[in-house]
Amino acid sequence: MPNEKPKFYLTTPIYYTNGLPHIGHTYTTVIADAIRRYKRMRGYEVVMTTGTDEHGVNVERAAQKAGIPESEYVARMAVAWKALWDELGIPADEFIRTTDIRHVRTVQWLFKLCKENGYVYKGNYTGQYCIYDNAFVTDAKPGDNCPDCGRPTETVTEENYYFKLSAFQKPLLDFYKKNPHFIQPETRKNEIISFVEGGLKDLSITRTTVRWGIPVPGEEPHVFYVWFDALTAYLSAVGGPDYEKRGFWPCDLHLVGKDIIRFHSVYWPAFLMAAMLPVPKQVWAHGWFLMDASKMSKSKGNVVLPRPIANMLGMDAMRYFLMREVVFGQDGNFSYDALVTRYNSDLANGLGNLASRTAAMIEKNFGGQIPKPGPRLPQDDALAKVASEAIGEALDRFEKFEFARSLETIWAAITAADKYLTSEQPWAMGDSEADTQRKATVLWTTTELLRVVTVLAHPVLPDSTAKVWTLLGQPGRISAVELDGLRWGQLVARVQLGKAQALFPRVDKQEAIERIESMANEELNPTQPPAQAAAPAPAATAGGAAAAPAPEKIGIEDFTKVEMRVGQIKTAERIVGADKLLKLTVDIGTEIRQICAGIAQFYEPEKLIGRKVAVVVNLAPRKLRGVESNGMIVAASVGPEGRPVLAGFPDEDVEIGARLK
């Protein structure tokens, strides 16, 4: 039998379809993708599943609001989720939708097994239900809000099928004891153990109050409770009832957010135990990315979108930030400031700079061919030791999902190489034979370190490390390098460097943040057709540099949709941390509006007070650098750098609020 690779199966949660992905969802999918790449480089055959959770009351309501059937609504949403993961380079090997027929079959089969084994019975239930979280709220009274999301609960009575969760208290506790790494991190494990020790109540697993769900065969109008349905998707994705054929079950790793750990580490193994199916090996709960210390949600208007960040800084920068900034398992704050700071310091000045300066020196001194090293000095051996130790340490930390610490190790090696170059100064060496030989050793040593860190960083920075690999002219694909065989000294010398490609061009922090925010605003409140939704907004309000696409001709009916009025500036002030933006209050006749304008570098705030300007008053409000902007001041964009010049009314003292036509 040929040498079969060991199999590894990991999952992200399947995401609700009543919203679109933000950075929190992207976080889990990015981590899953990095683990998948890492495991492949360690010789595993890997399947990663993600997908969409498409049933329940929320979807019913969202579809109703959109005026389309549920099936059409979820189909559109699933396409949008899948397309985004593809675009971001983190596609699933199995994208499972809970409306897929293979999934419906699996849920019905799992229920049948649980029932046949005596763990399902019929009963009545009245309780407070949170329709947003799709869960009854234990111990809640009518009028209580949901403790998780804070929204009002609804009183619901229904006949349903119960799952005998109470029968699994002891089996679960025994299972946790026998498998001490099943729930990670440890703090979550302790929480779950105390929860289970506190006693488990039976769980209703069908609904008659919900229409949009998987039917319980022969028991209509019962449909399955969304969590019985959703959790089963992990199994449906790798064969369902025929899971043994594919050989990926039991799952090796469920990656989840801390809010859904109970479903995964209590309900899910209990369902599987009841059906006498193998139980997953591990559930890992990560923390949340917070905005201003609270969880992101569209209703709070504080969501961070992945696409604008990827467009501005590249996907690798976002991946690096998500995995480097926060200890995996803990909560962390998201800030654009920290993102761009890390980009410039660690990626542009760190890895990017080391790669480009090393390549440039090899180009200049050795005609672009990696030189063979001469005799070694202690400092060369010292750098070799740093790199060799980094291999063991970075891999060990990655294996324990200490991603931030693994990256710390890799970047410490980059810093050591920078210091080595600074002290060796190969650029100051002459052309004598001895100097040339020394230069060869220094550049070979630096290049070898670069090769090692590039391989180690590949699971986190797949695109940029592949570019460095090409630059170094190394054979094969970087993703095919076996991590277990990675050692100091394997650099292939005498090969010609490949094509240099821009890795991480340095960016101006404020400009980058403004452009990301402007693209995010545009995506959330599109003013253009969807095809252009990710394009940067024009300069006047955002202060961005991108030119608007050439306009098509529009009819008068389109023009009249834009409501422009004469406004008078009442106050104007600078915004801390945004040198291009001014915060204005503007009287538009009917009200005083707050509007941000990207004119701070050309207009003194004090001189603007009393000035009459043209204002677009029916633009959807948006936030710029965290400040609400409700309208747009019209300005000409002059010269190549797009200097803003305010439109005005010099000929006559026009009335405030007069409409521009």
Residue ranges in contact with ligand MSP by CB under 6 A:
13-16, 24-25, 27-28, 53, 230-231, 233, 256-257, 259-260, 288-289, 295-296
Q: Which is nearer to ligand MSP, 230 or 472 (CB)?
A: 230
Compute the distance between CA of residue 530 and CA of residue 437 in angstroms, rounded to an integer: 59
The SS3 assignment for 360 reads helix
Instruction: State the nearest-atom distance from the C-beta of 74 to ligand MSP, in Å.
Output: 12
Looking at residue 579, the DSSP 8-state letter turns out to be: E
E strands in 349-472: none
Instruction: State the nearest-atom distance from the C-beta of 403 to ligand MSP, in Å.
Output: 14
Q: Which is nearer to ligand MSP, 111 or 289 (CB)?
A: 289
Nearest to 483 by CA among 402, 391, 403, 384: 391
Please, are residues 563 and 659 in contact by the beta-carbon 8 Å criterion? yes
Compute the distance between CA of residue 286 and CA of residue 153 in angstroms, rounded to an integer: 27
Q: Which is nearer to ligand MSP, 55 or 189 (CB)?
A: 55
Q: Which is nearer to ligand MSP, 14 or 542 (CB)?
A: 14
Instruction: State the nearest-atom distance from the C-beta of 526 to ligand MSP, in Å.
Output: 22
The SS3 assignment for 238 reads coil
Helix (H) or strand (E) holding 333: strand 332-333
Q: Which is nearer to ligand MSP, 296 or 539 (CB)?
A: 296
Please, are residues 616 and 562 in contact by the beta-carbon 8 Å criterion? yes
Q: Which is nearer to ligand MSP, 17 or 445 (CB)?
A: 17
Q: Which is nearer to ligand MSP, 53 or 380 (CB)?
A: 53
Those residues whose C-beta lies under 8 Å from the C-beta of residue 221, and which sit 6 or more positions away, are 208, 211, 215
Helix axes 306-313, 23-41, angle to 10 degrees: 60
Burial class (CB in 10 A: 0-12, 13-18, 19+), 499: exposed
Instruction: State the nearest-atom distance from the C-beta of 285 to ligand MSP, in Å.
Output: 8
Please, are residues 276 and 113 in contact by the beta-carbon 8 Å criterion? yes
Instruction: State the nearest-atom distance from the C-beta of 288 to ligand MSP, in Å.
Output: 4
Instruction: State the nearest-atom distance from the C-beta of 496 to ligand MSP, in Å.
Output: 45
Instruction: State the nearest-atom distance from the C-beta of 164 to ligand MSP, in Å.
Output: 21
Instruction: State the nearest-atom distance from the C-beta of 15 to ligand MSP, in Å.
Output: 4
Q: Which is nearer to ligand MSP, 256 or 586 (CB)?
A: 256
Instruction: State the nearest-atom distance from the C-beta of 291 to ligand MSP, in Å.
Output: 8
Q: Which is nearer to ligand MSP, 182 or 366 (CB)?
A: 182
Compute the distance between CA of residue 268 and CA of residue 279 in angstroms, rounded to an integer: 8
Instruction: State the nearest-atom distance from the C-beta of 16 to ligand MSP, in Å.
Output: 4
Hey, what amino acid is at 500?
A: A
Q: Which is nearer to ligand MSP, 260 or 360 (CB)?
A: 260
Instruction: State the nearest-atom distance from the C-beta of 255 to ligand MSP, in Å.
Output: 8
Q: Which is nearer to ligand MSP, 13 or 473 (CB)?
A: 13
Whose CB is nearest to ligand MSP?
Answer: 257
- Buried residues in 144-175 as b, exposed as e (16+ CB within 10 A): eebeeeeeebeebebebbbbbbebbbeebeeb
CA–CA distances in Å: residue 411 to residues 93, 337, 483: 30, 20, 18
Q: Which is nearer to ligand MSP, 289 or 488 (CB)?
A: 289
Please, are residues 201 and 301 in contact by the beta-carbon 8 Å criterion? no
Alpha helices in 50-126 (DSSP H): 57-66, 70-87, 101-116
Q: Which 3-state string (H, E, C) describes 596-658? A: EECCCCCCCHHHHCCCEEEEECCCCCEEECCEEECCEECEEEECCCCEEEECCCCCCCCCCCC
Please, are residues 220 and 207 in contact by the beta-carbon 8 Å criterion? no
623: which strand partners?
A: 628
Instruction: State the nearest-atom distance from the C-beta of 586 to ligand MSP, in Å.
Output: 34
